[in-house]
Every structure is written in C-alpha cells, then in structure tokens.
Structure 1
Amino acid sequence: MSSKTLIIDLSHHNPEPDWPALRAGGILGVIMKASEGTTFVDATYQPRKQKALAAGLATASYHFFHGNSASEMAHYLSVANPALGERVVLDHEAEATLDQLVEAVKYLRESRPDLQVTIYSGHTIKDQLGSAKNDYLAQNTSLWIAHYTEEAKPSWPKETWPAWSLWQYTDHALVAGCSAPVDGNRWNGTEDNLLRWLGPMQPAPGPEPPAEPLTVFVTIQKPKGVDVKVMVEEPEE
C-alpha cells in the first residue's frame, strides 16, 4: 500500500485546481463527480476532465446514488459518457438499499460490460453487509472504502472484498495545486497498477507520419512518327 496521496476526488464544491501543479506534485489521478440522482449534472465534470487529461492525469467519474437504479444509471452514463474500459464509481452513502445498489451495478454491467465498476462507501456498506458476502458485488466490483482513522488500515467488509482498492483516509489532505484541503486517498498497490486500475488515459496526439512516396505507372501508346514528351509536376504544399 502506498502511504502517499496519489489520487484525489473532486466535485463542484472544490475550488478549481492548478492541474499541472497537481501532476508535478505527484498526484497521478483524479476521480470527479459527474452526476447525482436522476437529473443533477456536475457542471465542472467535463471541463475539468479535459484539463486533467491535458495535464497528464488519469481520470474517472462517480455518481452519487440515491436508489433509483435504472434511471440513475442511465443518467450517469449519459453525463459521464465513459470511454471504453473506463472506471465508473457508485457513491453509496445515501438512503439506497443493498438490493438497489446491486441492481444499479447490474444495469451498468449489462449496458456497458467493458466498464470497470467500483463501490465507494463507508459505514453504509459496512452496516448493510456486516459479515455476509454478496457474491454479485464480489465478482463485479472493487471497493473504495471511506474510513477516517489514524490506524494503519481501515476496516471493511472482507467477505465481499478480500482487499480494498482505494482508501479515503481524510477529507483534509493538503495537496500541491489545490488551494483548499481535499479528500485524500491511498492506493493498495503500485503506481503502475493504479494507472491500469483507473482505466484508459487519453494519449497526447503525436506528429503526423510522413507521407509515403507514391509510384504511378502510366502506359502511353506512341503513334508512329510522333515524338512524345512527358512532364511531371509536383503539387505545391
């Protein structure tokens, strides 16, 4: 487990970061709020996503879930418009039941089987699962646990998730590039694996490849007694 804050999460409540400073300070990725419920859109999501990608940061999105499984997930996908293989997160801390959470994950898996799905939660998921195992969540999701503690590691529902992926350990992380404290998250693995876990990064456009030389064969029937001259002109660039 990395003891450093390698990834932060943001919503419209957070001031606009200095994106290059975030990357220069060691942050590798940002998970940003895209939507909530059936209608709310976080207006900062799309512009911030583009700025984060331009700064070389990996990105993912999250949806604050209220329990209206199908309608909320349809709304989330339309707002986030996740790329192939991108990670999507359900923020499960409101009034939604465990069954509603499972139905939401099923909707995502059936609608976009390419996506990686993570559950973000704290005491809510601990209370709902207890020591029981939910096979569907175990097979189809990873865990981002919220647990603010000074201890070396958090507590979490180990029967469903033998290991957590992300641990939100504070809401007062001081990070270069952010003018106010933000949620700090620790990653349970190597930095390379974190980038793979987050999903695809948009590559910076490279230079155009040089044009291949074009060879053209022309056949001309030369009449007897007539001189034929052929001129070739290259088009102006």
Structure 2
Amino acid sequence: MLNAVVDISHYTTITSWAAVGQAGILGVIAKATQGASYVDPTFAQHKAQCEAAGLAFGAYHFGTAGDPVAQADRFLATAGDTQLLVLDFESNPQGQSMSLIEAEQFVHEIYVRTGRYPGLYSGNDVRQAFSSAGITQPGQTELSKCWLWIAQYATAPLVPPVWPAWTLWQYTDGAAGQGPYTVDGIGRCDRSQFNGTADQLAAFWNGPPPVSTRA
C-alpha cells in the first residue's frame, strides 16, 4: 500500500504545494461540484497549483438528491480535462441525499460522456444502500463498474461484496482513524492509501483508453 493521496476542498488551506510533494504525496483529489449548481470556489486554483507542482490531480462531485444528468453536466463542465473523476456518495448534511438509483444514473452518464466509469467514494452509506436494495452481486448495480474509494476509519477497510478489492482507502479525516494524520504544507487532512505501488498509481491515474459509447 502507498500512503500518497489526499483530498481537499475549499475548507482546506494549502500553505506550500512544494512541501506537499516533498512529503510523499503523489495524487490530490479536489472537490469540484455539489448538486446541479454549486461549484467549489477553490477548484480551478487547486487544479492549476497542483498541476504546476507536478502532482496528479483528480476531481470529485458530491452527489445530492435531484437530476443526476444535470449534476453530471455541471461536474464535467467544471472538471474540464481532469482525467480522474469520482462520485462522492454519502449522506448530505445540508439537504436531501442522492439515492442509489440517482448514483447509478450519474455514473452511467459519466461513462456515456467520457468512456470511463468514475470512482465511487463512500463508506457505510453505500453499504446501507445495497443492503436496503438487496444488492449482493456485481451484476445487480452499475456502481460495481466504478473503482472503489472506501472511507473507513478502522484498522482495515471492509469492502462491500460487489467489489473484489478497494483502490483507495481513506483511513483518516485528519483526526479519526489511525495516523499519520498530517501532511507538510497542509496539516491535518483527509488521507488515503493506494492499493499498489507508485508506478501502479501513475498508471491508474491516467486510466485505460476510453471505450466507444453512444452519442
């Protein structure tokens, strides 16, 4: 495992991108959008600064209840040429949460538009959604075609049965879970392990070539 990924948003203060890279961080995933209209005001700056520092950059969308196609539109328009994309599927503390069906429709739209499925970030929320829907096999949900970014602040992540393994494991939010909690240039932050080597992380971040999709 490789402890080399952080995720950030407008709540995160970066004091030195150089220090972030020197601390061993190889990849950064930033919040881009939420719902169908909200754009994180720091996303464009984070993208430019992260790429200038030579770090791999990704974007995530916080899903909410509502039109998943409109949410995908906003996300893709904001993410631009960002290759690594993620759906954040968790309870919405500010309103209605995205449903399982909406999440499936969202990732399907991303696939149709880009030729690649996004990653799925979640913890107990996706496990509970699968349990409520009686989903135990990969063929029962399109979410199984996404790579898994599991959030679980325990000694080891528990992977839902529709995935063979996790790709990223967010093991701490900077306080809960086991350390290390901090990164030079950021301080306490969300940190994730990658299930592989540095070479495998670089290959994963670029992803396979897009497959042909309908217009």
* Common fold: TM-score over 0.5: yes
Over the residues paired in the alignment, what is the CA RMSD in angstroms?
Answer: 1.5
- Map 1:30-41 onto structure 2 (within 5 A): 30-41=28-39
Alignment of 1:91 onto 2:88: yes
Q: How much does 1:197 deviate?
A: 1.4
Q: % of aligned pairs identical?
A: 34
Unaligned runs of 5+ in 2: 92-96, 175-180, 208-215
- Which amino acid counterpart does residue 76 of structure 1 have in structure 2? F
Pick the aligned partner of 1:183 from 164, 180, 190: 190
**TM-score normalised to the size of structure 1?**
0.76
User: If the length of structure 2 is used for normalisation, what is the TM-score?
Assistant: 0.84
* Secondary structure at 1:6 match in 2: strand
Matching residue of 1:171: 173
For each residue in 1:105-135, what CA deviation from the matched residue of structure 2 results, as whole angstroms up to 9, or x when unmatched?
111111111x451000011001112461242
Counterpart residue number, 1:195? 202
Q: Secondary structure at the match of 2:163?
A: coil
List per-residue Cα deviations over 1:110-162 (Å, max 9, x = no partner).
1111x451000011001112461242222x3100000011x2x211202x111
1:80 paired residue number:
79
Q: Who wins on radius of gyration, i.e. which is larger? A: 1
The answer for unaligned runs of 5 or more in structure 1 is 201-237
Contact preservation (8 Å) 2:182, 2:189: yes
- Give the Å deviation of 1:195: 1.6
Higher helix share: 2
Q: How many residues align?
A: 190
Q: Show structure 1 runs of 4+ deviating over 6 A.
A: none
1:21 and 2:22 matched: no
Kept in 1, the 8 Å contact 2:72–2:106? The answer is: yes
Matched, 1:117 2:118: yes
1:58 to 41, 56, 59: 56
SS at match of 2:173: strand
CA distance in 1, matches of 2:16, 2:117: 28
Aligned AA for 1:92? F
